[in-house]
Structure 1
Amino acid sequence: MYVIAYDVGTTGVKCCLFSLSMETGIEFIAGELVDYDLYVLENGGVEQDPQQWWRAMCDTTNQLLHKAGVAKEAIKGISFCAQMQAVVLVDQEGQPVRNAMSYMDNRGKKQMEQGLQRGFKIMGMNARKLLRSIMISGAVSASVKDPLWKYKWVQDEEPEIFSKVHKWLDVKDYLVCRATGNFIMSRDSAFATLLYDTRKGKEGFSRELCSMMDVNMEHLPQICECRDQVGTITGQAAAELGLAEGTPVFSGGGDASLIGVGAGAVETGATHIYMGTSGWVSTVVEKQRLDIGSMIASIVGADPNRFNCFAELETAGKCLEWARDHIGLDELGLFKEKKFAYEDLESKHKNLYGYIMDKISQIPAGSNGVLFTPWLHGNRCPFEDPDARGLFFNLGIETTASDMIHAVIEGVCLHLKWQLRAMEKQTKTSQTIRFAGGGALAPLTCQILADVLGRRIETVKNPQNAGAVGSAALMALGLKVIESIDEIKTLISVDHVYEPQPANTAVYENLFQIFRSLYKTNRKNFGMLNRRSL
């Protein structure tokens, strides 16, 4: 049977067509991608237009069905994997009352100070609120980028707009609403508000936490599981999408919940690393664990019986994109020829990234002494600091652009190592790690990651589509193709394996000590240079 999974990322929607069966497993058939805007504002705001998400969803669906030659009646279900911790505020008709506030938005510093940092404190937070939040939800809104402070910012700064709010949704929950007309939020999205009660027998939004944080519970939608069918496509949505009216719609989940599923890391103790625009380290655990000092929490995922111990990196692949645009290209227009070298007929490379990877492949471990820190938009874990920024450290007159770009990849991997080390204070991580996201497409990046971590790295087919594969896997569960989430691992096979090279691992272990010191040494300077009042 055919299903469609929408991978709703930071910069675009990818519509993916899959075939599901016990014999062939989850087979990727085709995909279509449409980009949309990301608005970075001077006051720390980062926004997107939800209408652009919907238009991109409609455009990709129509394009996909046309190119694949699949009849709309053959699609037995649609679902989603999406960026998380955005705040999408809608009215009673499901229309956005303002632009969505991205997971990167950090405008809510004043709201966080007023809501969590006054009164008797523990670790800089109001003691009562901290302890009650941990007891009820197993986490606390300790980051200025958490959804609660975005919601409160609108409440304080845009009261006329706030008065029109009917429901508070996340990204894919808004798209579910557009497709079905239903206001529903999956359990992982509900947990991401950090207003969710994770205690056994009490799962659901916490009236106590909402009261404590002055959140209107009427704004919070009904909760479902990621695997649940939450409605069918309405006539109007069907006409826009090019799908059949009445097609089942499954909730799906956030990227943090489903990418590990799509990578086959579903059993207790399985660790996976994601490197897309953002990045993370995640391990499946049986019980909630919380390390406030390192900003590591156990989040609700696709499996209602387990949690994902989770450490987030704000900018991962985005750093390489930045290096591509500002180091690798002729940004100043100094050369007359505007044709990329990889576009030559004799070139073996299909894209610019492949060309860049080939050019830096001979740079030795350690990038000839250059270090890079990947905090281009602040950082969350293992330290929370929205003012932290990227550094190139130890540049010399002999340093080349190739050294610098190579150092960018190493810097992202070194930070992931820092997160992995912090996570191991809470739980055991697996010696073999599944690697997913666009970063896993590059053998050089995979090998550097293996060398930096000193761990075996495994990738799967189409790692850049792991979230969509996870969404399709949950539809297989919802459509009764499989019976349990543990069966998903048997449907997803390993494609490539990368073993660590001991000599390189030794180099990176020495560099790791210097890398960690760079934030402590420059923390005050980051604050002085990037404080919002400047």
Structure 2
Amino acid sequence: MSYVLGIDVGTSACKTIIVNERGEIVAKATKEYDFIVPRPGWTESDPEVWWDATVDTVKKALEKAAIKPEEIAAIGLSGQMHTLVPLDKNRKVIRNAIMWNDNRVGKQCDEVHNKVGGEDKLIDYVANTALPGYTIGKILWIKEVEPENYEKIDKFVIAKDYIRYKLTGKIATDVSDASGTCLYNVEKNKWSDDLINLLEIKKSIFPDVVESPEISGHLTSEAASILGLKEGTPVVGGAGDVLAQAVGTGATEEGIAMLIIGTAGIASVALSKFRRNPGGSLQLFRGGVPGEWNIFGCTLAAGGSFKWFRDSFGLEEKIIANLSGEDAYNVLVNEAMQVEVGANGLLFTPYIVGERCPYTDPNARGAFVGINVIHDKRAFVRAVLEGIVFSLKDALKLIETLGVSITQVRVSGGGAINPKWRQIQADILGTEVVTVSYSGEGGSYGAAVLAGVGAGFWPSVKEATKKLLKIESRTKPIAENNKRYEKIYEIYREIYPALKKINEKISTL
């Protein structure tokens, strides 16, 4: 039997899985690492840390699988999007990578919008507005603040593409990570030369772009020796983590939405034809299926809000969890389910680190609204869970304005684990919520599927996901609960506008 490797270079860990021709995971390994915070709001990483973790996890996965090097037919890559890795002419890293969650480039993003004539005009160029996370601001920041480093840049790549270079010696990215630079013409599937020229960025530094399942290079003898693999093993384009997860959950058909509740929350839907991004609140990228797109909204603190609540107010639940062996999150969810739908009139907005969608507002703040003497901690937990899903419903509602009819939601991440929270999701969204096999593997499984398509295991990405991914659970909305949630959601929608000016004043304190 032949196998493929899926490697996911995440923000804080690298995960490698080995998948056979039947789509079954036969081995996996993970290695965590830290990133660097030079000053508040800045996040950087040494790309060699990612490579060391890749080597470690590949070796461990191969050892667990007990297979021969020549049985690996292809390698797929996924990873954190937008992170900038600048390389010199000798392909050495010039400075630490500037990560996707680095917030230093607000000034540069404003300058981009001013130069092109506004956010709507930028959408004409690249289908997106310049968010601080995108690569565009990071390149311009180096150009402005570190001109000596900018002059040294011969090529730039994104996080997973640095691993591609270490594996193959090739400099390339895939269509999804190219889209995430905000310098790529997402509609026409090419770098936006007009925008690049307008911003006076060196055109020579841009990498070649390949489709996600397309072979981008082959394993060098040096890399093969280090990893214990066969020289010449093909490496496919892969995809940025969100787009790889869309593949890995089978959200590759219009109407099937993917919901990821990790630290951030992602609501994503595949598009078979290009549509204009409404107001730039969503992110419209090329996806893992060649010739198609994905549109998604990102809420910055979905699971992050739940973690904040657990760490700040859940000491008792942590103690119970330690004594019982149950997860503290599950203890909190069980408490929340003792409170009626709508948390007895208590609402929560999960904007605890600002917000991106549907409100691109770094000054947005989280809020509990409607606190009453009847509310105990259980009500606050339920309000947090409901508020997280309301924020993701906002993103899905925006996506629906494009004429997309959502018939099913596939969930992954922490929000997929507990069936009681899945019921809350189904009731609020008014749509069937399902989990599928391997949806907990993140981008690594999507990367493996893309590698399998490149290796010829499966004829296409869509056919692969239909064949491999089996529905493991179905949660249908309870009509009575959904009806009540619709009324509560309308009130929730009024909270952000009502508090906007207050939050702006708070941000200046």
If the length of structure 1 is used for normalisation, what is the TM-score?
0.88
1:38 and 1:370 map into 2 onto residues whose CA distance is 37
Deviation (angstroms), 1:340: 4.0
Structure 1 stretch displaced more, 431-440 or 186-195 = 431-440
Q: Is the 8 A contact 2:289 2:462 kept in 1?
A: no
Match of 1:414, SS?
helix
Q: 1:157 to 1:504 in 2, by over 3 A?
A: same
What is residue 362 of structure 1 aligned with on the other side? 338
Does 2:95 align with 1:98?
Answer: yes
Describe the superposition over 1:289-337 as per-residue Cα deviations: whole angstroms up to 9, x where unpaired.
2344361243211122211122222222222222222221379xxxxxx
- Deviation of 1:449 after TM superposition, in Å, equals 0.8
CA distance in structure 2 between the partners assigned to 1:53 and 1:352 by the alignment = 30
What is the aligned counterpart of 1:507 among 473, 484, 494?
484
Question: Alignment length, in residue pairs?
Answer: 507
Residue 380 of structure 1: which of 356, 371, 384 is its match? Answer: 356
Tell me: CA distance 1:510–1:516, structure 2 relative to 1, closer, same or farther (3 Å).
same
Give the 3 Å change call, closer, same or farther, for CA 239–422 of structure 1 in structure 2: same
Alpha carbons of 1:466 and 1:144: their partners in 2 closer, same or farther (altered >3 Å)? closer
Structure 2 residue 118 is the aligned partner of structure 1 residue 117: no
Residue type of the partner of 1:126?
Answer: G
Contact 1:18 1:472 in 2 (8 A): yes
Amino acid at match of 2:390: L
- Per-residue deviation at 1:402? 3.3
Counterpart CA distance in 2 for 1:287 and 1:67 is: 42
How much identity, in percent, do the aligned residues show? 32
Instruction: Return the TM-score normalized by structure 2.
Output: 0.92
The one-letter code sitting in structure 1 at the alignment partner of 2:179 is: F
For 1:217 and 1:309, the matched residues in 2 are separated by 27
Assess, with a 3 A threshold, how the Cα gap between structure 1 residues 205 and 461 changes in structure 2: closer, same or farther.
same
Q: Distance in 1 between matches of 2:441 and 2:315?
A: 27
Root mean square deviation of aligned Cα: 2.5
Q: Is the 8 A contact 2:8 2:160 kept in 1?
A: no
Q: Secondary structure at the match of 2:129?
A: coil
Classify 1:114/1:323 alpha carbon distance in 2 versus 1 (closer, same or farther; 3 Å): same
In the alignment, which of 240, 254, 260 is matched to residue 274 of structure 1? 260
Aligned equivalent of 2:302, options 295, 313, 316: 316
Q: Counterpart amino acid of 1:430?
A: I
Q: Give the alignment partner of residue 478 of structure 1, picking from 454, 466, 470.
A: 454
Which of 212, 218, 226 is matched with 2:212 structurally? Answer: 226
For residues 439 and 49 of structure 1, what CA distance do their matches in structure 2 show? Answer: 31
Alpha-carbon deviations, 1:452-488, whole Å to 9, x = none? 1111111102322142222222122111111122212
- Per-residue Cα deviation, 1:80-137 (whole angstroms, up to 9, x for no partner): 122212222222343332222222222212112223236xxxxxx715x843x44443
Report how far residue 208 of structure 1 moved.
1.3
Runs (4+) of structure 1 exceeding 6 A deviation are: none
Match of 2:321 among 320, 323, 342: 342
Matches of residues 195-234 of structure 1 in structure 2 within 5 Å? 195-200=183-188, 203-234=189-220
1:79 aligns with 2:56: no
CA contact (8 A) 2:35 2:43 kept: yes
| 1:144 match: secondary structure | coil
CA distance in 2, matches of 1:502, 1:446: 15
Q: In structure 2, what is the Cα distance between the partners aligned to 1:355 and 1:65?
A: 37
Question: 1:246 is matched with which residue?
Answer: 232
User: Aligned residue for 2:162?
Assistant: 174
What is the DSSP-based 3-state SS (H/G/I as helix, E as strand, rest coil) of the residue aligned with 2:232? coil
Q: Secondary structure at the match of 2:44?
A: strand
Aligned 1:282-321 pairs, distance under 5 A = 282-293=268-279, 295-321=281-307
Structure 2 CA distance for aligned equivalents of residues 403 and 14 of structure 1: 37
Residue 69 (structure 1) shift: 2.8
Residue 126 of structure 1 is matched in structure 2 by 117
Question: In the alignment, which of 439, 442, 450 is matched to residue 415 of structure 2?
Answer: 439
Structure 1: gaps spanning 5 or more residues: 119-124, 332-338
Is the 8 Å Cα contact of residues 58 and 242 (structure 1) preserved in structure 2?
no
Query: How far 1:221 sits from its partner (Å)?
Result: 0.7
User: SS state of the match for residue 319, structure 1?
Assistant: helix
Q: CA deviation at 1:283?
A: 1.8
- Structure 1 contact 328–401 (Cα < 8 Å) conserved: no
User: What is the alpha-carbon distance in structure 2 between the residues aligned to residue 190 and residue 145 of structure 1?
Assistant: 14
Does the Cα contact within 8 Å between 2:255 and 2:408 map onto a contact in 1? no
Does residue 143 of structure 1 match 2:122?
Answer: no
Structure-2 separation of matches of 1:405 and 1:242: 48
Superposed CA deviations along residues 132-172 of structure 1, whole A, max 9, x for unmatched, are: x44443x1334233221121112111222222222221111
Cα separation, 2, equivalents of 1:176 and 1:530: 41
For structure 2, the residue ranges without an aligned partner over 5 or more in a row are none
Distance 2:223 2:373 in 1: 59
Measure the CA separation in 2 of the matches of 1:249 and 1:38.
26
Post-superposition offset of 1:525: 2.9
SS of the residue aligned with 1:56? Answer: helix
Q: Residue 187 of structure 1 aligns with which residue?
A: 175
